[in-house]
Amino acid sequence: MSFSADTPFVRALVRAHQQAATPLPGLAFCQLAEQILELLFPERAPKPIVRPDAIAATLSQLQTDLASLLMRVSMPAAPAAVAAEFIGRLPSLREMLLYDAAAILAADPAAQGTEEVIATYPGFYATAMHRLAHALHQLQVPLVPRLISEYAHQLTGIDIHPGARIGTSFCIDHGTGIVVGETTVIGANVKIFQGVTLGALSVNKDLQGIKRHPTIEDHVVLYAGATILGGNTVVGSHSIIGGNVWLTESVPSHSRVYHRAQIHVTRTEDPTEGLTFSI
């Protein structure tokens, strides 16, 4: 089938393209985030930068590049000011990420050292990209934080909205399938396993701008497959939420919440007979 210039479908596409905003250089923003991580953590860099003047020059160049990219974004603050503020936050961001790496190392018997965690662990990478995206989100930069978070999501299978607030010493173990919603609040020294969902009870659009995701207090462990929903749901400090738990109401501190499964297995000495089991 061929389309001529005057067909309704072609004209509709023309109008859509004419009305579309100028696309953001999404890949460039994500590459810049990668460069920032490589500077903060030489374990991720192709080549270490060993001279102080070279480090300072790299920071200056990153700020210039960020300001240039932000000129493509419509936002209330001046791009140069936002870039300067963001780069100024890198010392504290690096400190937080070092605590995150230490938390992963302390929790995972398979980890051989902080260098391995920083260079190879998807949980650390997803957390690092989130902290960069969250800093831009705090600076009221539109769209870009989500571009970065979705970039990390594609690479790790870990979906953390840039609006989520995460405390120090955050540990993601394995991580595939984790979902952390926009208004989630996570305290310090929290450990999350794969498949955990921190979500909303409803996806009604009227809830936009309202806290609809849970609060996880300090020193909580969320085991694989746990689903915790609702903006009023609070998991108290030092609690353990077991695997596959579905939780929609608050639990006090030092709680142990688990799903009890009953498994019955019977067998026969005759291997030709089928194995009978029920779960």
Whether residue 61 has pLDDT greater than 50: yes
- Higher per-residue pLDDT: 173 or 20: 173
pTM score of the predicted model: 0.90
**Residue 209 backbone class (left: φ over 0; alpha: ψ -120 to 50; beta: rest):** left
Region 241-249: mean pLDDT is 96
CB 180 within 8 A of CB 153: no
Interatomic CA distance for residues 132 and 89, integer angstroms = 9
- The pair of three-digit structure tokens given for residue 222, joined into one six-digit string: 């969320």
Predicted confidence band of residue 205 (pLDDT cuts 50, 70, 90): low
Predicted confidence band of residue 208 (pLDDT cuts 50, 70, 90): confident
Any idea which of 72-86, 101-115, 243-257, 260-274 has the lowest mean pLDDT?
A: 260-274
- Which is nearest to 222 in space by CA: 263, 181, 262, 189? 189
3-class DSSP state for residue 157?
Answer: coil
Interatomic CA distance for residues 121 and 105, integer angstroms = 10
Any idea which of 179-183, 199-203, 216-220, 230-234 has the lowest mean pLDDT?
A: 199-203
Predicted confidence band of residue 272 (pLDDT cuts 50, 70, 90): low
- The pair of three-digit structure tokens given for residue 173, joined into one six-digit string: 């173990």
User: Residue 275's pLDDT is what?
Assistant: 44
How does strand 240-241 pair with strand 221-222? parallel
CB 244 within 8 A of CB 260: no
Predicted confidence band of residue 68 (pLDDT cuts 50, 70, 90): very high
Whether residue 201 has pLDDT greater than 70: yes
User: Residue 44's pLDDT is what?
Assistant: 96
User: Residue 138's pLDDT is what?
Assistant: 97
Question: Rounded mean pLDDT of the chain?
Answer: 93
Interatomic CA distance for residues 169 and 184, integer angstroms = 16
Interatomic CA distance for residues 227 and 199, integer angstroms = 8
Residue-wise pLDDT for 81-140, tens only, equals 999 999 999 999 999 999 999 999 999 999 999 999 999 999 999 999 999 999 999 999
